[in-house]
Amino acid sequence: MGIEIKPENTIFTSTEMDIQDLYKCVHCGLCLSSCPTYTVLGKETDSPRGRIAYMKAIYEEKTDLTPRIVSHLDSCLQCRACESVCPSGVPFGRLMEHTKSYIVNKKKYSFFRSVVNKFLYKVVFPKQFILSLLSIGIKVYKALKLNKIRILMPSFMIPLDKMITDTPKEVFRADGSIFYSNPITKKRSVALLSGCVMPIVQSDTMRATVRVLNKNGCDVFVPESQKCCGALNIHGGDLEGAKSLAKANIDAFIDLDIEAIIVVSGGCGAIMKEYFDLFKNDEEYLEKAIRFSNKVKDISEFL
Ligand code: SF4
Ligand code: SF4
């Protein structure tokens, strides 16, 4: 490859990216047809292979992080569709998460975007209290039928409106409840991640999950001290915020006598199965994060 890899000296050091992963791509192009941004935009620069080329060029100091490069990296949806078809096992999701963190650290986003991101990642998603206020706001929005007053609705709200009006009436609270299964059936014990937005916009799904688990002989515990999984922080480049949420979740679940930590939101599960990546240099939490990640199961994987 013609370059000496010295992770301790790299521009990605602060994000703890595993630099070897950058060089796993063999440029075969098998991922291109699976990438939604490539199929829509049709440009190599908006493909997984193109984005990896940019990351390498930045690492090898062949280019600066220009606004044009940031826009191509930023258009990645972080859906990881490219990962599942890659014959070289390039962990693209992790590479992109570290790259986003690098973009944030280099202050390459506009002031407005940085402020909005900080507000969402530091204030809204980690705080159940703020999310409860959000659910009250949704109830008021629906009760007053504010969506009928078109003049009040900015254009960005139009796609959100259907999601808001479809929101179930009651939120699903993570309040430390234990939902017991039929005492006659064979017992299993699991804990459930409720998450940040799921208890509001998918509360019916959460309740149905508990019923299905109970029917299958599982007692279901919903720890009160759990937090948002941190996926949104990670996707936005806020790795420190994600670490603090991950620590709270590890502390909430790790000592429970349970068979599995059940998730019903695939994005949360994918991140929680990789919590260990956040604690590579944290002696206190690495071992706990590995044990935690091993217990995380999507409900369809568990049943
Ligand atoms: S499939 Fe994997 S190895 Fe092939 S171009 Fe895409 S990322 Fe690189
Ligand atoms: S993670 Fe990004 S590069 Fe990979 S398939 Fe999704 S949009 Fe494309």
Q: Is the CB of 77 under 6 A from ligand 2?
A: yes
Residue 241 CB burial class (10 angstroms; 0-12, 13-18, ≥19): buried
Instruction: For the chain, give the secondary structure using H, E and C.
Output: CCCCCCHHHCCCHHHCCCHHHHHCCCCCCCCHHHCHHHHHHCCHHHCHHHHHHHHHHHHCCCCCCCHHHHHHHHCCCCCCHHHHHCCCCCCHHHHHHHHHHHHHHCCCCCHHHHHHHHHHHHHHCCCHHHHHHHHHHHHHHHHCCHHHCHHHCCCCHHHHHHHHHCCCCCCCCCCCCEECCCCCCCCEEEEECCCCCHHHHCHHHHHHHHHHHHHCCEEEECCCCCCCCCHHHHHCCCHHHHHHHHHHHHHHHCCCCCCEEEECCHHHHHHHCCHHHHHCCCHHHHHHHHHHHHHEEEHHHHC
As given in the structure block, the two tokens for residue 236 are 């936005």
What crossing angle do the helices spanning 67-74 and 92-105 adopt, rounded to 10°?
A: 140
The answer to whether 221 touches 178, Cβ cutoff 8 Å, is yes
Q: What's the confidence (pLDDT) of residue 68?
A: 95
Q: What's the confidence (pLDDT) of residue 10?
A: 47
Domains of the chain are 9-105 (1.10.1060.10), 112-165 (no CATH), 178-302 (3.40.50)
Q: What's the confidence (pLDDT) of residue 181?
A: 75
Q: What's the confidence (pLDDT) of residue 14?
A: 52
Q: pLDDT tens, position by position, for the chain (303 residues)?
A: 444 444 443 445 555 667 788 899 999 999 999 999 999 999 999 999 999 999 999 888 888 889 999 999 999 999 999 999 999 999 999 899 989 988 988 888 888 888 888 888 888 877 777 777 777 777 777 777 766 666 666 666 666 776 666 677 777 777 777 777 776 666 889 999 988 888 887 888 999 999 999 999 899 999 999 999 999 999 888 888 899 999 999 999 999 999 999 999 988 999 999 998 888 888 889 999 999 999 999 999 999
Nearest ligand to residue 89 Cα: 1
How remote is the CA of residue 48 from the centroid of ligand 2, in Å?
A: 6
Quote the CA–CA distance of 195 and 182 in Å, as a whole number: 26
Instruction: Name the residue of 35, 56, 82 to mutate for ligand 1: max ligand atoms within 8 A of Cβ.
Output: 82
Q: Locate the ligand 1 atom nearest the alpha carbon of residue 88 and give its number.
A: 3
Q: Is the CB of 49 under 6 A from ligand 1?
A: yes
Q: What's the confidence (pLDDT) of residue 154?
A: 65
Q: What's the confidence (pLDDT) of residue 9?
A: 35
How remote is the CA of residue 152 from the centroid of ligand 2, in Å?
A: 35
